[in-house]
Amino acid sequence: MSLAIIMPERNGQGLAERLWALDADLDIQIWPQLERPEDVRFAVCWAPPAGALQSLPQLDVVQSLGAGVDGLAQQIPIGVRLCRTVSPSLKSDMRDYVLLSILAEQRQWDAMAKDQAKHHWQPRHYRRGGTVGIMGLGELGQAVASGLAALGFTLKGWSRTPKELDGVQCFDGPAQLGAFLGELDYLVCLLPLTDQTRGLMDRDFFQRLGKAPYLIHAGRGPQLVESDLLAALDNQWLRGACLDVFHQEPLPAGHPFWAHPRIRITPHCASVTSGKELAKAVYHNYLAMRQGLALNHLVDTTQEY
């Protein structure tokens, strides 16, 4: 029985070494040198090449390196189970990223940095508190909500299915999206990428906002229609945006987001699972598969998360 690491754009050898530190007897094969594909039962993946998973006839479980599965649900063979990776550092990183983005906007740190460059301070008026709307109330969204609640923010949340969370006014489904979008000071997107969320944040979406909030987008790039975001800023439907994800990554050098005065961009770094935590998560699910136990973070492939 073998474990395959299929992540062409990342350090597969580094993950293998961390797994061997947990269990020196693990049989690990690293793409593209899969010398015994017929032995692979478990595959760890990130952006696998087309056909790679179909070449593994005994494959039982695929584990995504990220909290999202980003198209893996369409690639895995019928009957193969799919898992996400959600670690403590992934949740705390996302909480901190959203809190930092909101507090930096409230205290106008970007504007003060420009003042510093000019050697002249301008009077500033700070925002305090406000209502934050979180789209996506899974483990990452709940971690963000907990952090914001501790700082006294009023919270609203929107998800595909009904949720009940202490201190959060919850909305669900397309019918309640309009009510959720009203009267927000900050809008946070942490949704998974599915057919339903692809292109969700478009011109019509932004026009439904009750007052011009500040957008923090750390979900997935294709959820945002980028030209419509620029229109939303031009029309004052949004007052600004902090973006961590994009249609094309890395963001092309000539993209208008780089120089836009009301857009802050970061290089898809909002939350990252540590190598040690990743290895533990993979090893846990590998052992669970071998022992016939329940897998952590099993994905409903019909819903893509």
Q: DSSP secondary-structure letter at 138? A: S
CB atoms within 10 A of CB 194: 18
Q: Where are the domains of the chain?
A: 2-87+273-291, 88-265
Q: Per the residue annotation, which of 217, 220, 264, 297 is the catalytic one? A: 220
- Using the 8-state DSSP alphabet, how is residue 301 labeled? T
Q: Rounded distance, CA 290 to CA 41, Å?
A: 9
120 flagged as catalytic:
no
CATH tag, 88-265? 3.40.50.720
In this chain, the answer to whether the domains covering 2-87+273-291 and 88-265 adopt an identical fold is yes
Q: What is the pLDDT of residue 56?
A: 97
Distance (Å, rounded) from C-alpha 110 to C-alpha 262? 9
Provide the token pair at 111.
């504007």
Q: Which residues of 108-142 are buried (b: 16+ CB within 10 A; e: fewer)?
A: beeeeeeeeeeeeeeeeeeeeebbbbbbbbbbbbb
User: 41, 208, 268, 284: which one is catalytic?
Assistant: 268
Question: Can you tell me whether residue 156 is helix, strand or coil?
Answer: strand
Q: 297 an active-site residue?
A: no
Secondary structure letter of residue 245 according to DSSP: -
Superfamily per CATH, domain 2-87+273-291: NAD(P)-binding Rossmann-like Domain (3.40.50.720)
Per-residue pLDDT of the chain (305 residues; tens, 9 = 90+): 999 999 998 889 999 999 999 999 999 999 999 999 999 999 999 889 999 999 999 999 999 998 888 778 788 899 999 999 999 999 999 999 999 999 999 999 999 999 999 999 999 999 999 999 999 999 999 999 999 999 999 999 999 999 999 999 999 999 999 999 999 999 999 999 999 999 999 999 999 998 999 999 999 999 999 999 999 999 999 999 999 999 999 999 999 999 999 999 999 999 998 999 999 999 999 999 999 999 999 998 877 67
pTM of the model: 0.93
Q: Quick one: pLDDT at residue 66? A: 85
